[in-house]
Structure 1
Amino acid sequence: MRYLFEDYALDPDRRELYRGANVVPVAPQVFDLLDYLIRNRERVVSKDDLINAIWNGRSVSDAALTTRLNVARSAVGDAGEKQRLIKTLPRKGFRFIGPVREEGGDSPAVPDNSVEPEKPTPTLPDKPSIAVLPFENMSGDPEQEYFADGMVEEITTALSRFKWLFVIARNSSFTFKGKAVDIKEVGRRLGVRYVLEGSVRKAAGKVRIAGQLIDAVTGAHLWADRFERDLIDVFALQDEVTIAVVSAIEPKMLQAEIALATRRRPENLTAYDYFLRALPQYYLATREGFAEGIRLAHRALELDPRFGSAAALAGDCHVTNVVLGYANDPQFDRKEAVRLARLALSIDDSDPETLARASVISAFIVGDSEAEIEMADRAVALNPNSWRTWNNRGYVYRVAGLPEEALRSFERAVRMSPVDPLLYMTFLGIGAALIELGRFDEAIVVLKKALRQNPSYVPACRCLASAFAHLGRDAEAHDEAARALEIDPAFTISAFIARGAGKNVRLLIEGLRKAGLPE
């Protein structure tokens, strides 16, 4: 049995909450709370009912119960002031009041191509636009999945260097991974004219890529081909696919331009393999994921000390550990982040991904705004199609105390990857910039978007508490502050400032104090 409401679906058997085609991450206790309220939606559920059902009768404070309810509301796009789905009845209890449709059978909880109705679909850009969908792993070995994903990432990066193309970022394209999709629907949701799909087989020292280019507006197949090379020629294989795609879109494309569109490749293919394995760990955006990403990236550097992209990735993991409070030894992570960023730039200071990562590392740790802005601007100039270059430029300008320019960058990042599962990071940047501009109501809207996408993203909880506090909405500010401390009980404002996240956010910090977060 599945429960469908608005554009959500709760699947008790799989213990998953869906929004559209995407799984909404929720803690087990929050899932149980939603499940219980929905199953008992015909009546008012008392506090004692919830404690008995969710906490097995253990003693639970009103603050803890309120925090769990707020997290559950955020997970389904509700809010304490509107109570559109979960209503609090004073001195009586709680009730799920949203219309619910029950669905049985073995079909997926939601169609793979379902759409979030409240989101406007992007318009087509005024230049050729393309998304590269995840390629199917034909190796017969699930452990080779990372290799197929890595090939797609490389081809996407190569395509994005052509400034006359508009290329959707990897993370948005990967929301369709493992799903049977309608290409026209993919094009509509991502706002692109062309879609590239295909498969990868890696076996017996050879790599084979099959691909087809489709016009997402008409559904017409424009090009299809198959490429095979020895594993040692994998980079030449990626170039061949890229050239074939751009030539199909623009017949006058000169193949020589591909040389300008490729970053420096590692000399050691085993190092490259470790780098490909590190990428999905980085995308997890967890403490454990960053630790494993650092380990794998360092292994790649041991095998190829001139592998700049691996150095930049490791540095990015180290600085994120510091900013998010994951670091066991913040000073070590700071020094490593700066060292690796400088190493990456010494190897190749013209690679846009390296420049983007290095600019943010420097912004949070070094604080040379002029140099950091120059790096971020160069990254965007070299690759204006990258979510990362625009997103990182936004953070550099935000840290430099230029929130209006930061907003412009963040908005461009959203367009480059409109269904990116990491957009909550971009939304956080937008919210922080809006707070510094005194636009607290707008900040609340976008920070709630961040928390709908990732209900446990504690930086968004803190920013939301600050915005509420500035508007005098004290109860909501204190609720968000309590929620933030439940996730990160060791947080203090002074530590937040010391680790670099508190640069040029005077109003944000003022709001944190008003919300009651510890000094």
Structure 2
Amino acid sequence: MRIRLLGGLEVTSGEGRPARFATRKSALLFAALVLAGRRGHHREQLSEGFWPGRGDAQARNSLRQALADIRRWFPASGDAAIYVEGDQETVALTASLDDADIWLFERKLAESATADLAFAADLYRGDVLAGEAIPDGLDEWFSPYQIRYRQRALQLVERLSLAQPEAGSADQAACEGLAERLLASDPTAEPAHRALMRIHAARGHENAALRQFESCRALLKKHLNVQPEAETHSLAASLQTRSGNRQAASALDTAQPPQPVTIPARPHDQPSVAVMPFDNLGGADDEYFADGVVEEITAALSRIRDFFVIARQSAFTYRGRFVDVREVGRELGVAYVVEGTVRRGGDRLRISVQLVDAETRTQLWSERYEGATEDVFEFQDRIAAQVAGAIHPAIRGAEIELAKRKPPTSLRAYDLVMRAYPNLWGRRKDTNNQAIELLQKAIAIDPAYGRAHALLAWCHASKAAYLWTDQPENELEKARATVEAAGSISDDPTALTAAGSAMSMCGDQERATTFIEKALKLDPNNAWAWARHGWIAIYKGEVAHAPERFQQAMTLSPMDPLTFNMRLGMATAMAKTGSLSQAAAIAREVIAAHPDIIMSYRYLAAWSAMDGDLETARWAAQKLLAAQPGFTIERYRSLPFFRHMPEWADQVAEALRVAGLPER
């Protein structure tokens, strides 16, 4: 097969080389000819559609040039398998029906044998021209084809799953792969959800099938605000009946199934989560691994003091039967449920995990992990750490949204802290001030709330470090005093991290290290603590330790609101070891993604000047002064975190002078 349009555009010439057309329009013209098949297109239609507004003569000339580009790769000759033919009116592509995936896909769809349908499923790697940059105007040309073939793929996945290919067969794998690809591009594709439900059921995994239904229902509610179709509900009902009958039959031969432990409702002073037994989609030999993953994730989450985690023994009373997450929430008194599946295929393991709001059934976060079977225990530990690191901000985000919806009269200290969270991360002066106001209100309600004090200390230290005040020393003094007012925070990793971060900004790296290391001992998956541990290494002159700490932070929480800070920390370590151009490149990327983060211009100006790129340095300096007119080198140089690295501070100051920033 030489031409692939499903999932992208790949073309191989007659000599077996990848075809690289001279222009994007030539490549898309070739795709249009493939889609048209042997009937071809009128030249006038092509020239007007691909080069609108150019005038008839110019558009036709552009068409001739594009066709010449195509013929360069597929010249017409007596034995040519693929070539362009045409006359004054039409143009068409001539090729074998086996040369293009789209033609072969159509042919296999017309067959009735399961093997032919499975072959077509493997051909559908994605939508027509998926991932290709299609200019404005031409999207209207290709959109009907994309819609048509996607509808055929949805019909195909339904047909193939209803054909009930043998469990574990290549035909079933093709159906499953097609369903997963369809859902990756459209999570609301119900035929794909139904196909996976049937596949799980064929393997004897009714619980997994019913969880697929719950996922379908939650995604439809989230994205379209609709309920599943009647056919999907009917399939789920039949699976529920089958699952119930199987459990009843099992109960006749064994002891009465254990009943779930009912836990009295607790005041929601902190979010609560239960990690349910994962569905083992592989053989019985994988059961131990699925249980091990759940146990490790439960233990990892239990170390995070931000929320309450139900013990494994209570959650495992649900093993082997399907239950609605809302029922789990009521019976265990939890707000969030972690679900997952484990599957082994050959020498590979795949784990899928999702976090669900127990009340609304909304999926808040999901991820898939893959690794080698031979590394099961290392893989198990890594998955547990990454899931804990990712679930933490996902739950925090859900709690923040919940706090936002509460009327002011019902706000408590906890809710005020949740409202402060989005404003804590050093992006802008105004949001930092809003966080300070909310945290002060929380402390007024609960003067012994250690976390609120520690986060307030971080805000005051940030105000000084980012030069959002004319009197940074006053803010640093407030930060020190607020850390002392926090009292006993020895069992709260978040409070310890905030206090350690504040003390680091105040220049006390030894005390900061004590706070951060204690936080990481309590919660090894705390991304913020790892990031601050990296900055402390820089401030203490231990740069060699910084990159691995920043990398650990980004691995644990890749979507963290502090990712920009972690990347700038990594870049600072590079700059201090002489990799100035790489450091400046990272600063430019951060600026492109977050132009409102002023500190990035400060770093870019210094590193570019050190690297001899004065044009970039002066541009960054101008942007910095435009956003922060009161910036001076003297004020920046006086910040206490420079105390442990005076030589570096002098180099930075000199670079900022070269960039054109004022001394005083």
| TM-score class normalised by the smaller sequence | 0.5 to 0.7
Q: 1:444 aligns with which of 572, 576, 584?
A: 584
CA offsets 1:150-198 (integer angstroms, 9 cap, x no match): 9997759xx999796489x9xxxxxxxxxxxxxxxxxxxxxxxxxxx98
CA offsets 1:129-158 (integer angstroms, 9 cap, x no match): xxxx9x99x9xxxxxxxxxxx9997759xx
Counterpart for residue 510 of structure 1: 654
Name the CA distance, whole Å, in 2 between partners of 1:215 and 1:100: 37
Q: Is 1:470 equivalent to 2:643 in the alignment?
A: no
Counterpart for residue 492 of structure 2: 351
Q: Is 1:389 equivalent to 2:529 in the alignment?
A: yes
Counterpart for residue 340 of structure 2: 214
Residues 274 and 421 of structure 1: CA distance in aligned 2, closer, same or farther (over 3 Å): closer
Q: Is 1:494 equivalent to 2:638 in the alignment?
A: no
Residues 498 and 153 of structure 1: CA distance in aligned 2, closer, same or farther (over 3 Å): farther
Residues 385 and 220 of structure 1: CA distance in aligned 2, closer, same or farther (over 3 Å): closer
Checking the alignment, whether the CA contact within 8 Å between 1:199 and 1:210 is kept in structure 2 is no
Counterpart for residue 194 of structure 1: none
TM-score of the superposed pair, with normalisation by structure 1: 0.52
Residues 416 and 320 of structure 1: CA distance in aligned 2, closer, same or farther (over 3 Å): same
Gaps of 5+ in 2: 1-53, 55-131, 144-181, 186-214, 222-267, 275-293, 305-323, 344-349, 361-379, 385-391, 393-409
Write 1 or 2 for the structure with the bigger share of helix. 2
Residues 162 and 349 of structure 1: CA distance in aligned 2, closer, same or farther (over 3 Å): farther
Equivalence map 1:332-347=2 (5 Å): 332-344=474-486, 346-347=487-488
Name the CA distance, whole Å, in 2 between partners of 1:351 and 1:277: 19
Equivalence map 1:275-286=2 (5 Å): 275-283=417-425, 285-286=427-428
Name the CA distance, whole Å, in 2 between partners of 1:433 and 1:392: 13
Quote how far apart the aligned CAs of 1:311 are.
0.7
DSSP 3-state at the match of 1:213: strand
Residues 456 and 223 of structure 1: CA distance in aligned 2, closer, same or farther (over 3 Å): closer
Q: 2:457 aligns with which of 291, 295, 315?
A: 315
Counterpart for residue 467 of structure 2: 325
Q: 1:435 aligns with which of 553, 575, 578?
A: 575
Residues 369 and 220 of structure 1: CA distance in aligned 2, closer, same or farther (over 3 Å): closer
Checking the alignment, whether the CA contact within 8 Å between 1:356 and 1:388 is kept in structure 2 is yes
Quote how far apart the aligned CAs of 1:502 are.
4.0
The structure, 1 or 2, with the larger RCO (C-alpha pairs under 8 Å, 6+ apart) is 1
Q: 2:512 aligns with which of 347, 350, 372?
A: 372
Name the CA distance, whole Å, in 2 between partners of 1:359 and 1:223: 30
Q: Is 1:102 equivalent to 2:244 in the alignment?
A: no
Quote how far apart the aligned CAs of 1:493 are.
0.8
DSSP 3-state at the match of 1:347: coil
Counterpart for residue 59 of structure 1: none
Quote how far apart the aligned CAs of 1:371 are.
2.5
Name the CA distance, whole Å, in 1 between partners of 2:414 and 2:614: 51
Name the CA distance, whole Å, in 2 between partners of 1:495 and 1:485: 14
Quote how far apart the aligned CAs of 1:308 are.
0.7
Q: Is 1:461 equivalent to 2:601 in the alignment?
A: yes
Seq. identity, %:
23
Quote how far apart the aligned CAs of 1:458 are.
2.0
Name the CA distance, whole Å, in 1 between partners of 2:494 and 2:595: 28
CA offsets 1:394-417 (integer angstroms, 9 cap, x no match): 122222222222222111111111
Residues 165 and 469 of structure 1: CA distance in aligned 2, closer, same or farther (over 3 Å): same
CA offsets 1:373-394 (integer angstroms, 9 cap, x no match): 2322222222111111101111
The number of residue pairs the alignment matches comes to 321
Checking the alignment, whether the CA contact within 8 Å between 2:273 and 2:334 is kept in structure 1 is no
Equivalence map 1:218-233=2 (5 Å): none
Counterpart for residue 265 of structure 1: none
Checking the alignment, whether the CA contact within 8 Å between 1:313 and 1:357 is kept in structure 2 is yes
Residues 301 and 166 of structure 1: CA distance in aligned 2, closer, same or farther (over 3 Å): closer
Checking the alignment, whether the CA contact within 8 Å between 1:436 and 1:508 is kept in structure 2 is no
Residues 224 and 409 of structure 1: CA distance in aligned 2, closer, same or farther (over 3 Å): closer
Query: What amino acid is aligned across from residue 518 of structure 1 in structure 2?
Result: P
Name the CA distance, whole Å, in 1 between partners of 2:134 and 2:635: 44
Checking the alignment, whether the CA contact within 8 Å between 1:297 and 1:310 is kept in structure 2 is yes
Q: 2:547 aligns with which of 388, 392, 407?
A: 407
DSSP 3-state at the match of 2:595: coil
Checking the alignment, whether the CA contact within 8 Å between 1:163 and 1:385 is kept in structure 2 is no
* Greater Cα radius of gyration, structure 1 or 2: 2
Checking the alignment, whether the CA contact within 8 Å between 1:208 and 1:226 is kept in structure 2 is yes
CA RMSD of aligned residues (A): 4.8
Name the CA distance, whole Å, in 2 between partners of 1:160 and 1:310: 32
Name the CA distance, whole Å, in 1 between partners of 2:355 and 2:465: 45
Residues 163 and 441 of structure 1: CA distance in aligned 2, closer, same or farther (over 3 Å): farther
Quote how far apart the aligned CAs of 1:444 are.
1.8
Name the CA distance, whole Å, in 1 between partners of 2:581 and 2:452: 40
Name the CA distance, whole Å, in 2 between partners of 1:160 and 1:512: 52
Name the CA distance, whole Å, in 2 between partners of 1:407 and 1:513: 28
DSSP 3-state at the match of 1:457: coil
DSSP 3-state at the match of 2:412: helix
Equivalence map 1:16-415=2 (5 Å): 101-102=135-136, 165=300, 209=335, 211=337, 213-215=339-341, 270-283=412-425, 285-327=427-469, 329-344=471-486, 346-365=487-506, 367-415=507-555
Checking the alignment, whether the CA contact within 8 Å between 1:160 and 1:383 is kept in structure 2 is no
Checking the alignment, whether the CA contact within 8 Å between 1:161 and 1:383 is kept in structure 2 is no
Write 1 or 2 for the structure with the bigger share of strand. 1
Query: What amino acid is aligned across from residue 514 of structure 1 in structure 2?
Result: V
Residues 284 and 436 of structure 1: CA distance in aligned 2, closer, same or farther (over 3 Å): closer
TM-score of the superposed pair, with normalisation by structure 2: 0.41
Quote how far apart the aligned CAs of 1:212 are.
5.1
Name the CA distance, whole Å, in 1 between partners of 2:485 and 2:296: 23
